[in-house]
Amino acid sequence: MSARLLTPHALIEAGLAAPERLPELEAVAELYAIGLTPALAELVSADDPNDAIARQFIPDKRELVRDPAETDDPIGDDARSPVKGLVYRYPDRVLIKLVATCAVYCRFCFRRARVGPGSASLSPSEFAAALDYVRARPAIREVILTGGDPLTLSPRRIAATTQAIAAIPHVRTIRWHTRLPVAAPERVTPELVNALDAGERTVVVAVHANHPRELTPAARAACRRLNQRGVMLISQSVLLKGVNDDADTLEALMRAFLEARVKPYYLHHGDLAPGTSHWRVPIEEGQALMSVLRRRLSGLALPAYMLDIPGGYGKVPIAAPSIRKDGAGQWIVRDPEGVDRPYVERLGAPRASGDDGGERRE
């Protein structure tokens, strides 16, 4: 398989969907883009109807069912967009949506109603206006480039974008959100990696993967190429029913990230994007899974479980709390094995420093 699969017919011809599914695939394709790279298509087990890779990329007729809670803008980008393509939700950082296309199209994407072929990317003048907005606000220290997938741009445009942002004195961090190292690792060339160079600025690449099988040897080599150039790598994943909603898979995914020199960062609760309810895992189940991971993984491998509040109000951690007060006002801490332990901040009256009552302590 040498080309991207972009249509229902292409998926069927590649043996990734049954011919009788053509009408439903075409109905979904009228609403949401299809795209699957050779690197990920090769991972699909066509004989398994519940294959974790197929579930992420092969259209499903359930995408035509829209829950009343779901919206085209589930995290409220529009409410926080003072100029086209820029989202200013937090005081110290902005998002710039450079492009509206991706190498692959995830079926659960929170921007699925706004990306795909024919969707408008930022024009040069619109990008210049976004940079003017950043220049005028010294509190902004980080620019996050997203879309779509901004690393699908040519190395020349990536370099020009990097240098334009790095020229803003108060911006100290440039972050790129991408699936490219996983979806098309061969495109993470030395030329692309060099294009990310921002001098003394910190460059971060957030790598999106949801199942350990996605982190193939080629994907890990692409991550190493970025890492060796001084790029900081962090992960992003979405908790998805039938893909990674079990502790063993999540543990393997986070360990695979770490082995690829990618720091596990965020595990997102599924956003209320249209036609995605069949992927969303109940919050209580997500919290229980995080409790298991906390017992199994070190802090290096443990992501934060995050919910993006609809309406543009930002992300918050939603893992089950480890500490609470009981009815008597005493702290109770839950240990890694799930056992509650008392925690007392102070016993008795405080003593002056050095007053050990005559007892010497080594």
Catalytic-role residue among 55, 80, 93, 107: 93
With beta carbons less than 8 A apart as the criterion, state whether 249 and 221 touch: no
Classify the C-alpha dihedral 206-207-209-215 as positive or negative.
Answer: negative
Catalytic-role residue among 51, 271, 294, 305: 271
Query: Residue 132 catalytic?
Result: no
Catalytic-role residue among 90, 224, 241, 265: 90
DSSP string across 242-307? TTT-SHHHHHHHHHHHHHTT-EEEEEEPPP--TT-GGGPPPHHHHHHHHHHHHHHS-GGGPPEEEE
SS3 state at 55: helix
What span, in angstroms and rounded, lies between the C-alpha atoms of 221 and 177? 18
Catalytic-role residue among 106, 107, 149, 305: 106
Query: Residue 109 catalytic?
Result: yes
DSSP string across 119-164? PPPPPHHHHHHHHHHHHT-TT--EEEEESS-GGGS-HHHHHHHHHH
241, two tokens:
């029913």
Query: Residue 149 catalytic?
Result: no
Query: Residue 51 catalytic?
Result: no
With beta carbons less than 8 A apart as the criterion, state whether 248 and 277 touch: no
DSSP string across 26-48? HHHHTTS---B-HHHHTT--TT-
Whole-angstrom CA distances from 139 to 169, 204, 255 are: 11, 19, 35
Query: Residue 223 catalytic?
Result: no
Amino acid residing at 155: P
Query: Residue 92 catalytic?
Result: no
Catalytic-role residue among 51, 73, 77, 308: 308
Catalytic-role residue among 80, 89, 107, 280: 89
Query: Residue 93 catalytic?
Result: yes
Catalytic-role residue among 111, 112, 179, 294: 111
Residue positions counted in the chain: 362
Catalytic-role residue among 109, 201, 223, 305: 109
Catalytic-role residue among 55, 102, 112, 223: 102
Catalytic-role residue among 135, 224, 315, 334: 315
SS3 state at 51: coil
Active site residues: 89-90, 93, 102, 106, 109, 111, 271, 308, 315
